[in-house]
Amino acid sequence: MSAAPDPTGSATEAAETIATPILIVGGGPVGMVLAMNLAALGVASLIVNSDPRPRWHPKGSTHNSRTMEHYRRLGLAEAIRRLGLPQDYPTDVGYFTRFTGWEIARLAMPSEGEKRRAVRAAQAADQVPEPILRCNQMYVERLLYEHLRSLVPVDCRFGWSCVDWQDHGDRVTAIIEEASSGRRAAIACAYLVGCDGGQSATRRKLGIRYSGEGPGGSEAYLDGPMVATHLRVPQFYRAVAAPRCWQYRAVNREVHTNTVALDGAGEFIFNSRLRSTDEKPDSAQIVRRFLASVGTPLEVEVIGHSTWIAGRALVAERFGLGRVLLAGDATHLFTPAGGFGMNTGIDDVANLGWKLAAMVQGWGGAGLLDTYESERRPIALRNTKAARRLGVSVSEVPIGAAIGCAIPRRRAGWASASAKCRSAPRSKRIPRRAAPRAAKPALIWRISSRNSIRSACSWARATTTLRSSRRMEAKRRPTIPMSIARARAPAAGRRISGSAMACRCSIGSAAASPCSI
């Protein structure tokens, strides 16, 4: 960080001098929504972002009900709900050994169209006018950016960065610079808000540190360095006959991965583990992981990669000092499990926006801005811990060496499969008897454990806990938390129906959040 600009000499260094009530550093969804909140309250702002446009790479895909209510207040909810997946695309989360192999469990969740019809049919006193939306953040950011540029009170400067600032006690001065030309401008503002992400230069200059927990140091999935890869796979839905999912989770002896549908037409974000923080994403290796998840050869186009760290639960010790405040990832870093990160940031600036407007317009008391930290930091602590617990619950699930083993039709085959699982307790070994003479079965778990988080993840024990569905039905053991029903595999392009559909997960609505990304 360069030396603080001299307010008397800034004009000689900069091509122009601009006065604005609020300077926002960082043009992600949090910074853009803050500018929109201020504009809605009649307060002008200037927002800078180092990239010339929002980055076109998949990120989180969950916009919770509260975030959607904020979008609704800004007049954007209807437009946002038309983005991403088709209206009739289900938002199920499916658990597979491979996407063309065994389906182990499924959390059935409605499509956007079904949710909207339910809202229209709801009672007038219904408390959820804006249900959760599954739409990747990159689509929403593009819409926010286009809307932001249309707002008169917002001076939108993407392709610019804040190179320095100084808090003078009664005002803040800053220098911003355009990346393409090197042109500079001096800014005089009442407040500066750093929405500049986990590596926030604003937070670092304030001397504010993160505190909390980091990765656990294991090699488990969601505990350490990860890579999110944007893929285009045009033939995916032709190759995978299982009913469509929003998330496809694969666990087998080769890989543990998560694939999230983006547009319902063949684009996905594929999350997999890296060995270390020094490892660079290797497109060929990642394609091999993806094909090991699918279970059949496919043509795969790699569009881009983004690395991130799972297992973190970090919160800034302060949410600002003096006239410089922080929001979004500059104040909290999440493990992206449960869809907490961006949603917490959007709620941050819903809280901060009206308080800044009150101070600028003269109707806010001297201690009003102090309530931003006292109200929002406890939420950040709660949410980062919750997200990390969800990630840990996935990482801790043991994966048996025999997961994904085919179930043979002959007695000899059953004996061979059982021999592979001898490390399991005797009561959990595969029974040595002939399977029914039928087409290759699809296995789906019915999960009824009270602990929905553990239940949603416990499917990874599949091949070490196989039991005959007939035997379990005959003995009628309702206290056993997991039972396996066997159904015929569907013909290509057809949905599973009848008794197979009845074997979907039944752990309750609380399971939706643990499976969000």
Q: Which of 375, 390, 405 is the last residue of a domain?
A: 390
CA–CA distance, 260 with 85 (Å, rounded to integer): 11
Residue bearing the bigger pLDDT, 262 or 486: 262
Residue ranges making up the domain that contains 26: 10-57+137-213+313-390
Residue bearing the bigger pLDDT, 423 or 517: 423
Q: Is residue 156 assigned to a domain?
A: yes
Q: Are residues 300 and 318 in the same domain?
A: no
pLDDT of residue 183 exceeding 90, the answer is yes
Q: Is residue 88 assigned to a domain?
A: no
Looking up tokens 């953040």 gives: 137
199-223, pLDDT tens digit by residue?
999 999 999 999 998 887 777 777 7
Instruction: State the pLDDT at residue 278.
Output: 87
Q: Is residue 355 assigned to a domain?
A: yes
Q: Which of 268, 285, 310 is the last residue of a domain?
A: 310
Q: What is the mean pLDDT of residues 406-424?
A: 37
Instruction: State the pLDDT at residue 438.
Output: 35
Q: Is residue 120 assigned to a domain?
A: no
Q: Which two tokens stand for residue 15?
A: 């091509």
Looking up tokens 């993840």 gives: 457
Q: Are 208 and 317 in contact (CB under 8 A)?
A: yes
Instruction: State the pLDDT at residue 213.
Output: 87
Q: What is the mean pLDDT of residues 356-375?
A: 97
Q: What is the mean pLDDT of residues 74-92?
A: 97
pLDDT of residue 510 exceeding 70, the answer is no
Q: Is residue 66 assigned to a domain?
A: no
For the chain, what is the radius of gyration of the CA atoms?
26
**pLDDT bucket at 441, cuts 50 / 70 / 90:** very low
**CATH number where 326 lies:** 3.50.50.60
**DSSP class per residue in 223-272:** SEEEEEEEEE-TTHHHH--SPP-SEEEEESSS-EEEEEESSSSSEEEEEE
Q: Is residue 129 assigned to a domain?
A: no
Mean of the per-residue pLDDT values of the chain:
79
Longest dimension (CA), the chain: 89
Q: Are residues 178 and 306 in the same domain?
A: no
**DSSP class per residue in 277-338:** TTPPP-HHHHHHHHHHHH-S----EEEEEEEEEES-EEEES-SEETTEEE-GGGTEE--SSS
Instruction: State the pLDDT at residue 31.
Output: 98
pLDDT of residue 351 exceeding 60, the answer is yes
pLDDT of residue 38 exceeding 90, the answer is yes
Q: Is residue 63 assigned to a domain?
A: no
CA–CA distance, 273 with 289 (Å, rounded to integer): 10
Q: Are residues 475 and 508 in the same domain?
A: yes
Instruction: State the pLDDT at residue 406.
Output: 58
Instruction: State the pLDDT at residue 231.
Output: 97
Instruction: State the pLDDT at residue 474.
Output: 38
Q: Are residues 228 and 207 in the same domain?
A: no
SS3 405: coil
Instruction: State the pLDDT at residue 394.
Output: 75
Q: What is the mean pLDDT of residues 27-34?
A: 97
Q: Are residues 306 and 326 in the same domain?
A: no
pLDDT of residue 112 exceeding 70, the answer is yes
Instruction: State the pLDDT at residue 224.
Output: 82
Instruction: State the pLDDT at residue 185.
Output: 97
Which range among 57-61, 272-276, 458-462 has the greatest average pLDDT?
57-61
pLDDT of residue 465 exceeding 90, the answer is no
pLDDT of residue 391 exceeding 60, the answer is yes
Q: Are residues 256 and 384 in the same domain?
A: no
Angle of helix 29-40 versus helix 137-149 axis, rounded to 10: 40
Q: Are residues 188 and 324 in the same domain?
A: yes
Q: What is the mean pLDDT of residues 289-300?
A: 96
Number of domains in the chain: 3
Instruction: State the pLDDT at residue 13.
Output: 64
Q: What is the mean pLDDT of residues 457-477?
A: 35
Q: Which of 310, 338, 371 is the last residue of a domain?
A: 310
Q: Are residues 423 and 507 in the same domain?
A: yes
Q: Are residues 41 and 154 in the same domain?
A: yes
CA distances in angstroms from 477 to 144, 470, 472, 490, listed in the order given: 53, 12, 7, 28
Instruction: State the pLDDT at residue 5.
Output: 42
Residue bearing the bigger pLDDT, 401 or 375: 375
Q: Are residues 505 and 465 in the same domain?
A: yes
**CATH number where 306 lies:** 3.30.9.10
Instruction: State the pLDDT at residue 12.
Output: 42
Q: Are residues 341 and 438 in the same domain?
A: no
Q: Are residues 349 and 423 in the same domain?
A: no
Percentage of the residues of the chain whose pLDDT score is greater than 90: 61
Q: Is residue 340 assigned to a domain?
A: yes
